[in-house]
Each structure stands twice: as structure tokens, then as C-alpha cells.
Structure 1
Amino acid sequence: MKKILALLIAAGVSLSAAAAPENFSSDANHTFARFEYSHFGYSTQQSRFNNTSAKIVLDRAGKSGSVEAVIDAKSVDTGSKLFDGHIQGEDFLDTAKYPTITYKSTKFNFNGDTLASIDGNLTIKGVTKPVTLTVTHLQCMDHPMMKKLACGANATATIKRTEFNAGKYAPYVGDDVTLTFAVEAIKD
């Protein structure tokens, strides 16, 4: 009986350890936020923020987690220094007053064992709105160079920029902005 009890206790300890949440920090060289929008219907403009960081907690066995991401709005990169300044101005991101954009999750949603979406709150220019990110890819495995567990993910959402007080020239310059996030994070 003592052996069975000892085995059950050992199994319970190992099961709870496997289901423990894991903490990750984003890799600055492989984590970027991108955005795209219609420019007068002529083309779809694509730009990114060069400085994005995230703290992630992931419990794959427990099907839960959290993410807090911070985007340096002053790191916007449109491919044109002149246009970078325009996007940072009061009519759009107003980075002098609001230097960061944040996303804080409220719930991870799984479809079976697959992370399908993340509900959370996006804050741009001091305006916070609920935004659901659709997770299009998630891979966790040992990083071949770091020799630690790493996870990478891609997620996307579409927002209306007018809802964040950044609507100058709408609707001619598209109100719908597609956000795309590429994140690679290493276990702490």
C-alpha cells in the first residue's frame, strides 16, 4: 500500500509540474508588430514597428495563458523618414504624448490543444478597446542555439483607426487597419 501511495504522490507531482505555467520573454530580434491599410485605394501600405516586447505566460496543458506586449510607437518604420514623422504626429499616433501602444490579454482561447485566439485590450493614444487576435501559428520547441524552450507565434486582427482617434483622411485612407504580430519568445 505504501508503494502505491508513493507512486500516486510521485505521479501527482510530475503531472502538476507538466501543467505548470511557463514564463517567456520576447526575442527583440524576432518580434515585430506590423500594420497595413488601404492608401486611397491605390495600394495596400505595409509598415512595422521596430521595437516590440512581450511577456508571455503559457500553460499548454491547462489551456490558459497571458500576454502583455509593449510597442514603441516612435519606432514606426514606413520606409520613409518623412512619412515616419507624419505617422508619429498628432493626427495619427501622437507619439510625443503617447509613446507606447500596449496589448494586455484577458483570455487565451483554445480549439482542442491548439491556441486559436487571444482576447485582450489594445491601447492606442490613450484609448483602450477590446481586440481579439486570431492566432495563425504557434510552435514551441527547444531552441537549437539557446538550448532552452522557445515558442513562436503569429497573430492578426483588424481594427478601425477612427476608434483610436487616429482617423485623419478616413475613409479615403482606409479606416480598417490590419495588425499582424510575429513573436518569438524564450523561456525565462
Structure 2
Amino acid sequence: MKRIPTILGAAALALAASSGARAEPVTYAIDPTHTFVTFESLHFGTSTNRGRFDKKQGTVVFDRAAKTGKVELTIETGSVNTGVAPFNQHLTGKDFFRSDEFPTATFKSDDFQFDGDKLSEVAGTLTLLGKTHPVVLKASHFNCYQNPMLKREVCGGDFETTIQRSQWGITYALPVQPDDIRLLVQVEAVRQ
């Protein structure tokens, strides 16, 4: 007799979970210690210049069941770091980021695309130097896990795209130096 109520109770819970479960967005704060925005550009077709932005912040709102999401990532352009101080200074100046006038760049999206259950890309806009243009970030390694140290869920992955810097008005040394800039965004965000 005890077995029947247990089976019926389990069946009722399963039915309630399947019929009453609603998609619910969850907010995550971008973890700056596990989020890196880097860029790559060919240098005279010989080697690759690389750099990163050390200061960034943002939020992700993700609804896994509904396969929807929103993200806003703000980057401080003055925090560019190539490992070479004079190059950093040149990048923050008038030829590139004009960081005094435009201290931040922002990526915003509310268009998450999935391939089955796997996040495949995030389409949005990048605002840099006061200009906004569409950008699509291809996703790889997207995953959510229970962080053993934080005791909270963390979601993240690797994202990349190639942009033409001239769209945002960065034309220094064109066409000698290439217009294409590869952007790589490694991001992890902690459930709030």
C-alpha cells in the first residue's frame, strides 16, 4: 500500500513539473576575473599584434528553457593592455580609441541563437567612438556549471567575431595595416 501513494505522488510531481514549468529568466553578473576581451590584428602581414581590455563589467539575463537571453558588456577603452606601454598610449589616443572622449565601448544583445540546446551565436550591436554597428559573436564551449567555490551557478563560454575597424572610424594606417580585427571574448557570469 505504501508503494502506490509513492508512485502516484511521483507521477503527480512529474506531471506538475512538466505542465506547470515556465521559462524564467535568470540574471548573471559578469565576473571580471574570468572575462577577457582580446583583439588581434596583423602587423604588416608579418606577425600578430594582440591586446586586451583589463576593465569590463556587465550582466547577462538568460532563460535556458525559452532559449532567450540578453547581454550588456561595457569595456573601458583606456584599460587597453598590449604589454607595451607606448603602444597602449597610442591606442588610447586620437588615432584609435580616443579614450578621453569615448571612455567606454558597449556590446548589447537580445538575440541568442541556438543549435538544438547549444548556444551558437549572440547577435547585437557594438558601440565604439560614438558609432553603433551590428556584430555577431559565434559561440563555442558555452556551458553552465555549479561553481564549487562560489556555491552558485556560473554560465559562460568563448565568443569571437571579426570586425572592420573603419566602420567605427578607426582608419589610422589604412590600407597599409589591415581593416580586419579579430575580437575574442571569454566570459563567465555568476548567477545573482
TM over 0.5, yes or no? yes
Aligned residue runs from structure 1 range 1-188, under 5 A: 10-11=16-17, 15-16=21-22, 19-188=23-192
Q: Give structure 1 stretches of 5+ with no counterpart.
A: none
State the Cα deviation string for residues 139-167 of structure 1 (Å, max 9, x = none): 10100100001112110010001111111
State the Cα deviation string for residues 89-141 of structure 1 (Å, max 9, x = none): 11111001000010000311111101000110001100100000001121101
Q: Secondary structure of 1:158's match?
A: strand
Deviation, structure 1 residue 11: 3.0
TM-score by length of 1: 0.92
- Call closer, same or farther: CA 1:106–1:21 in 2, change over 3 Å: closer
Between the two proteins, what is the percent identity of the paired residues?
A: 39
Q: Secondary structure of 1:145's match?
A: coil
State the Cα deviation string for residues 55-80 of structure 1 (Å, max 9, x = none): 00111110100100000101000111
Highest CA radius of gyration, 1 or 2? 2
Q: Give structure 2 stretches of 5+ with no counterpart.
A: 1-7
Deviation, structure 1 residue 54: 2.0
Deviation, structure 1 residue 10: 4.0
